[in-house]
Amino acid sequence: MDFVFDATTEELRARLTAFMDECVYPAEEEFERQSAESGWSPPPLLEDLKEEARRRGLWNLFLPGEHGAGLTNLQYAPLAEIMGRSPRIAPAATNCAAPDTGNMELLAMFGAEWQRRTWLEPLLSGEIRSAFAMTEPDVASSDATNIATSIVRDGDEYVINGRKWFASGAMNPRCAIFIVMGRTSEDGSPHRRQSMVLVPRDTPGLTVRRGMRVFGYTDADHGGHAELLFEDVRVPAGNLIGEEGGGFAIAQARLGPGRIHHCMRLIGMAERAVELTCARALRRTTFGTPLARQGVVQDWIAEARVRIEQLRLLVLKTAWLMDTAGNRGAHTEIQAIKIATPREVEWILDKAVQVHGAGGVSQDFPLAGLWAAARSLRLADGPDEVHKRSLAYRELKKHMPAE
């Protein structure tokens, strides 16, 4: 057991940190300005940053195997943390932003050769973006067996009908392809009734209805969260990803890495919040005393440090376990980080907001926006309560008398 990153990781951390210091942080202010005017598209300066990241060899770091940088989860985790320090820019600039990351992985693992050529390649090169349409407004989608959108085979085609929402990224006009989860069967095992199909944006019958808000935010700079309407949408049968009935399994495979990426970025966000908090506390004075000398503020700062250290180690161990025992072998740990990280980071951000006063809730600091991101991750990919129930069940099972 040791706690040292390997040489590859350290080299990439240094390279990525330099990119952050030289390119990303200095662009943040302008990013916000452009963002306010660029509608549902990302601010133009992002393209320059993508170019630069690519030039520096900081591209597709998230993707294991031949198609990407080939890093392990344990190697990627600390890099994702660094990106999380400027989460609206860095992941996008390095082509490591959700939901494209999960979609690329999915296509790399399950996509047919022509699917990879047609959709994975332009995603890998950053030309287009993609969306993942799973959640539905009308059912509790954390239970995938509730999914109601129908995907019906009709000759050489699939016909899709249903309503989805919170398809992140889909408001971005450059989002060219949607991966859609739906029911292809009403019979058989409840976890074999779902399938996934590729639906290009311009397919007739598909309406991108509106952007959903997250605590008032449109998240327009990364393409928002769309409500989608599918009315007799027809795609060729070859647009099926993997096999019919394989949708649930693919979704599960997609979620493991997605969750850990979210958690690592959250930790980066927390570190950023601590920095901002300390800087503010040292600068701001009330009733004759700098905030940094108020016991309650000190308590928050210490708590933040104590919590971050624990979270990071659990995420790193989870990454290591995914690398060595597979996603299934890391099931408990993946759930544990999904439960612990968003809520603890939410707590840290809440305190950071408080230290910043009215500024904290406003657009002048990134804190309120980061808070909303952390808060919504207590729901995304299944609410905490679903994960806890499942985790508890496995814990109890250890103690059940053998039959």
Bridge partners of 206, per DSSP, are: 230
> Cβ–Cβ contacts within 10 Å for residue 17, how many?
14
125 binds a second copy (CB under 8 A): no
Residue in 326, 323, 334 with CA at minimum distance from that of residue 261 = 334
385 binds a second copy (CB under 8 A): yes
Structure tokens, 129: 């973006």
Where does this chain touch a second copy (CB under 8 A) — which range of 15-23, 193-201, 216-224, 232-240? 216-224
Structure tokens, 166: 């919170």
How far, in Å, CA of 270 to CA of 98, rounded? 19
- The correct pick among 20, 214, 260, 345 for binding a second copy (CB under 8 A) is 214
330 binds a second copy (CB under 8 A): no
Helix (H) or strand (E) holding 74: helix 73-84
User: CA torsion sign, 247 to 155 to 137 to 199?
Assistant: positive
The residues near 173 (Cβ < 8 Å, ≥ 6 apart) are: 40, 41
How far, in Å, CA of 237 to CA of 233, rounded? 12
175 binds a second copy (CB under 8 A): no
Bridge partners of 197, per DSSP, are: 180, 240
| Minimum distance from residue 389 beta carbon to a second copy (Å) | 5
| Minimum distance from residue 38 beta carbon to a second copy (Å) | 17
- The correct pick among 61, 197, 274, 322 for binding a second copy (CB under 8 A) is 274
391 binds a second copy (CB under 8 A): yes
Where does this chain touch a second copy (CB under 8 A) — which range of 50-58, 95-103, 239-247, 281-289? 281-289
Interactions with a second copy, residue window 146-165 (CB under 8 A): 146, 165
Identity of the residue numbered 310: Q
- The correct pick among 86, 141, 172, 239 for binding a second copy (CB under 8 A) is 141
Q: What CA–CA distances, in Å, run from 343 to 7, 135, 193, 268, 348?
A: 32, 21, 33, 14, 9
357 binds a second copy (CB under 8 A): yes
Bridge partners of 154, per DSSP, are: 157
- The correct pick among 66, 156, 202, 399 for binding a second copy (CB under 8 A) is 399
| Minimum distance from residue 292 beta carbon to a second copy (Å) | 5
Where does this chain touch a second copy (CB under 8 A) — which range of 55-63, 93-101, 148-156, 302-310? 302-310
17 binds a second copy (CB under 8 A): no
281 binds a second copy (CB under 8 A): yes
| Minimum distance from residue 12 beta carbon to a second copy (Å) | 14
Q: Which is nearer to a second copy, 14 or 237 (CB)?
A: 14
349 binds a second copy (CB under 8 A): no
Q: Which is nearer to a second copy, 156 or 400 (CB)?
A: 400
DSSP state of 119: I
| Alpha-carbon torsion, ordered 311, 313, 315, 321, to 10 deg | -150
278 binds a second copy (CB under 8 A): yes
Where does this chain touch a second copy (CB under 8 A) — which range of 105-113, 122-130, 207-215, 260-268? 207-215
6 binds a second copy (CB under 8 A): yes
Q: Which is nearer to a second copy, 205 or 290 (CB)?
A: 290
Give Cα 341 to chain centroid, integer Å: 13
How far, in Å, CA of 87 to CA of 85, rounded? 6
Interactions with a second copy, residue window 74-103 (CB under 8 A): 74
Instruction: Specify whether the CB–CB gap between 81 and 62 falls below 8 A.
Output: no
Structure tokens, 51: 């170019």
Where does this chain touch a second copy (CB under 8 A) — which range of 40-48, 91-99, 244-252, 351-359? 351-359
